[in-house]
Amino acid sequence: MWIDSHCHLNHENITELGKPSELIAQARAANVSGLMTICCEIHKEFDELKQIATNHDNVWCSVGTHPHDAAVQNEQDISAEDIVNMVNNSKKVVAIGETGLDYYYNNSPSEDQKASFRKHIRASHACNAPLVIHTRDAEDDTVTILEEEGRPKGVLHCFSGTEKLARQGLDLGLYISFSGILTFKKAEELRKIAQIVPLDRVLVETDAPFLAPVPKRGKVNEPANVVHTGTFLAELLNKDVNEIAERTTENFFTLFSKAKETFKPL
């Protein structure tokens, strides 16, 4: 059994493959028994994501604002307390994010991104929900803020950073999640990094509809495809594929322990 720890079930690009319920059914048929659908813009999509999670067994969601949308969020003045309330009001809201810093696109000014990131970290400490961290071209600031704000629990999602960041993240106690990028031809560096991550800190994800793994590369991605990334990881590490499925699932429930409370064996 696999878990897709990070996807966007409501994204406009994924709907061409099917409704959330159809994508969830397809995932189950592929032995992906659980998934977390991730929030990027609270006002726009949180209610919808919470509804999807509430309506389906073993589907959970997060609440938070993507660094791309940090400026909008700050304008809308969503507080850390608001985020905490959104976590505490539902059994199916089990994480905070995705939050972090993205200086590659810089869709929001870096000052807004940093303020938003700090706010999410404070919310995480206040309600004990782990963070889903997105970081791109912003490694030093990411690590500095995580340290300054008191080392929250969480995952560096869709890891594509340097080995230095991986080691710093592990030292901070974070998990590291690999997406389909791991299977891409040019991702030699990332494959080396995957080999230094302890087996009790690794997660897998699709980030669907983005980043479909080989052999689906170039197509719209969906949660069922996390099996390809997981199988690839097992081969890379010379491990039995069932062991990697078990370990990554166990890690998911260790980190996002609230999800375990509503897990239903299928």
- The answer to whether 131 touches 157, Cβ cutoff 8 Å, is no
Closest CA to 250 of 8, 7, 34: 34
By beta-carbon proximity to Zn ion, the closer residue of 69 and 194 is: 69
| Footprint (CB under 5 A) of Zn ion, residues 143-202 | none
* Residues 6+ away with beta carbon under 8 Å from 266: 28, 33, 57, 58
Q: How far is the CB of 68 from Zn ion (least distance, A)?
A: 9
Mask of contacts with Zn ion, 56-95, x by CB under 5 A?
A: ----------------------------------------
Q: Residue 11 interacts with Zn ion (CB under 5 A)?
A: no
- The answer to whether 31 touches 227, Cβ cutoff 8 Å, is yes
By beta-carbon proximity to Zn ion, the closer residue of 38 and 212 is: 38
Q: How far is the CB of 91 from Zn ion (least distance, A)?
A: 22
By beta-carbon proximity to Zn ion, the closer residue of 190 and 234 is: 190
Piece of 31-39, 42-50, 86-94, 107-115 that binds Zn ion (CB under 5 A): 31-39
Q: How far is the CB of 236 from Zn ion (least distance, A)?
A: 22
Q: First and final CA of the chain: distance in angstroms?
A: 10
Cis preceding linkage at 67, omega within 30: no
How far out from the chain centre does Cα 218 lie? 21
By beta-carbon proximity to Zn ion, the closer residue of 120 and 134 is: 134
Q: Residue 134 interacts with Zn ion (CB under 5 A)?
A: yes
By beta-carbon proximity to Zn ion, the closer residue of 45 and 98 is: 98
Q: Name the residue with the smallest CB distance to Zn ion.
A: 134
**Distance separating alpha carbons of residues 253 and 248, to the nearest angstrom:** 9
Q: Which residues on adjacent β-strands are paired with residue 175? A: 155
**Distance separating alpha carbons of residues 98 and 132, to the nearest angstrom:** 5
Residues that bind Zn ion (CB under 5 A): 38, 98, 134, 207
